[in-house]
Chains A and B, each alone.
Chain A
Amino acid sequence: SAVISQKPSRDICQRGTSLTIQCQVDSQVTMMFWYRQQPGQSLTLIATANQGSEATYESGFVIDKFPISRPNLTFSTLTVSNMSPEDSSIYLCSVEEPDRETQYFGPGTRLLVL
């Protein structure tokens, strides 16, 4: 399976600031996904990021709050903008390998907003 890394692994941020999370894959993948896991909750899909096109956002998530870039087939970024304490979560990227139906996840970014 693909090896996925995320930076930073964790961060503590002040209210009103923004944080950009990076996701790097060791092979080319078409589909990349960004999920949020609020404390004690399950995972919720934020958006799907395809190379060469704008990200597709799920209901309840907007581009102004969570802008996403996908400059190539091995890299994506998620920015959490104008943060509030409610944004404190684990943010995970995942990839779907070509010709496979399974999604593999990165190690996650733990974000605490004060």
Chain B
Amino acid sequence: AQKITQTQPGMFVQEKEAVTLDCTYDTSDPSYGLFWYKQPSSGEMIFLIYQGSYDQQNATEGRYSLNFQKARKSANLVISASQLGDSAMYFCAMRGLTGGGNKLTFGTGTQLKVEL
């Protein structure tokens, strides 16, 4: 079984500042993947970044980086230079990479509000 915990229901950040969204996970799979998705008010789910448990380096995609600490089972999303368009719900998710399972398990999400 897999579990994702996002303890921040809401976060505020000022424009151009950096913000960290927390995510911790639990799994018995020896190999797994961690994901972050952005969901604006329109409802679509936008893939942001992926980190494999076997990756030696933290993933980065433009202004997004994933602070992966395997021993602590955390996969925090860092957004640098926040923009007004970053205001959205952010979901952390994971899936096991062994045993043929493809199911994504999602956290409860963090609502991010970027202010002027």
Contacts and interface: CB of A to CB of B under 8 A. Distances in A.
B102 A96 contact: yes
Contacts of A15: none
Contact of A101 (B42, B50, B103, B106): B50
Contact of A110 (B35, B43, B93, B104): B43
Given A42-B108, A42-B109, A101-B50, A108 B44 contact: yes
Most chain B Cβ neighbours within 10 Å, of A31, A37, A42, A58: A42
Contacts of A41: 108
B39 to A, nearest CB: 8
B44 A105 contact: yes
B64 interface: no
A92 B47 CA distance: 13
Interface in A79-114: 90, 92, 94, 96, 101-108, 110
Nearest to A96: B102
A41 B87 CA distance: 18
Contacts of A12: none
Given A101-B52, A101-B97, A105-B37, A45 B43 contact: no
A51 to B, nearest CB: 14
B109 A101 contact: no
A105 B42 CA distance: 13
Interface string B91-109: 1010101000011101111
Contacts of B44: 105-108
A43 B103 contact: no
Interface of A: 1, 31, 33, 37, 41-45, 48, 58, 90, 92, 94, 96, 101-108, 110
